[in-house]
Structure 1
Amino acid sequence: MITEEEAKLPPPKGAIAADQRGIFRGPKVEFVSPTDAVSSPLRLQLKFESFGGAKINLESIKVTLLRSPNVDLTARVKPFIQADGINMQDAELPPGEYTVRVDIKDSDGRPGTSIFTLKVTPK
């Protein structure tokens, strides 16, 4: 999922906004696993939830490794995208800490974003 070269890129500079407050009707991305530091290959699991009868627009999903510069992981994750989330059984990542952002939209065009950190330990 992430190459050695991409893992060596510096982390982004500045703050990363991740918290959204208030009434929000856009779709939700829930990070399910892994919940702790794990070794590679790992199971990457995310759950999508839409509201108000809207459906997740699968073509709108974008997965980004937040580095400097950012790395688009969408094409690598695309085979594992389903209507209810992402379920990647054997994601390969070098040891390290990776901040990943997932952007989605629902069928009404409302956006949703989730930012999470993957901690990968050496074997």
Structure 2
Amino acid sequence: MSLIKFAISTVLFLSSAIIFAAPLISAKEAALPAASGTLATRGISRGPAVKLNSPEADTPVMSPFDFKVAFEARGDAKIDPASVKVIYMKSPFVDLTPRLKSVISTNGIDLAKADVPPGTHTIRISVKDTDGRETNSVLTLVVNK
């Protein structure tokens, strides 16, 4: 009976750890060299708006933090959540999209307790609407120790 209790308590402990912090960027990925070249995005676009709601852009935060990005379609178009790509701008690029699939919706990205190592992290988010218009937005996260 005590073995069953141990197994149950272990599963509950591991489940609670997953709930409290979700890895967004690993220390190994953060140690990769920065992507070379410019991170230019186009000017005026009729594509969807991408806005970092949490944490505030370029404002230092402590990890874990809530990572929230809002998408806003323009006109009669809708956001296509299947089109969303989240790329960590390292060399080589790191595709974060599979880690975020469950928290991407037509409204945006809502990841509670994102675990990110200390440093300055550049992330590119691409999203399309149902009319095929695309927006690429570059966000910077600054994480303190």
Is the 1:2–1:92 Cα contact (8 Å) retained in structure 2?
yes
**Which residue pairs with 1:97 in the alignment?**
120
Structure 1 residue identity aligned to 2:61: V
- TM-score normalised per structure 2: 0.80
Alignment partner of 1:27 is 2:48: yes
Q: Equivalent pairs: percent with the same residue?
A: 43
**Which residue pairs with 1:15 in the alignment?**
38
**Which residue pairs with 1:61 in the alignment?**
84
In 2, Cα distance between equivalents of 1:21 and 1:4:
33
In 2, Cα distance between equivalents of 1:66 and 1:117:
10
- TM-score normalised per structure 1: 0.93
Larger Rg: 2
Is the 1:6–1:71 Cα contact (8 Å) retained in structure 2?
yes
Which runs of structure 1 show a deviation greater than 4 angstroms over 4 or more consecutive aligned residues? none
In 1, Cα distance between equivalents of 2:27 and 2:83:
27
**Which residue pairs with 1:39 in the alignment?**
62
Q: Which runs of 5+ in 2 are unaligned?
A: 1-23
Is the 1:28–1:113 Cα contact (8 Å) retained in structure 2?
no
What number of residue pairs does the alignment pair up? 120
Q: Which runs of 5+ in 1 are unaligned?
A: none
Cα deviations by residue, 1:15-69 (Å, 9 ceiling, x for unpaired): 1103x323x2111111111112111101111110111110001110000000011
**Which residue pairs with 1:116 in the alignment?**
139
Structure 2 residue identity aligned to 1:101: R
Structure 1 residue identity aligned to 2:100: V
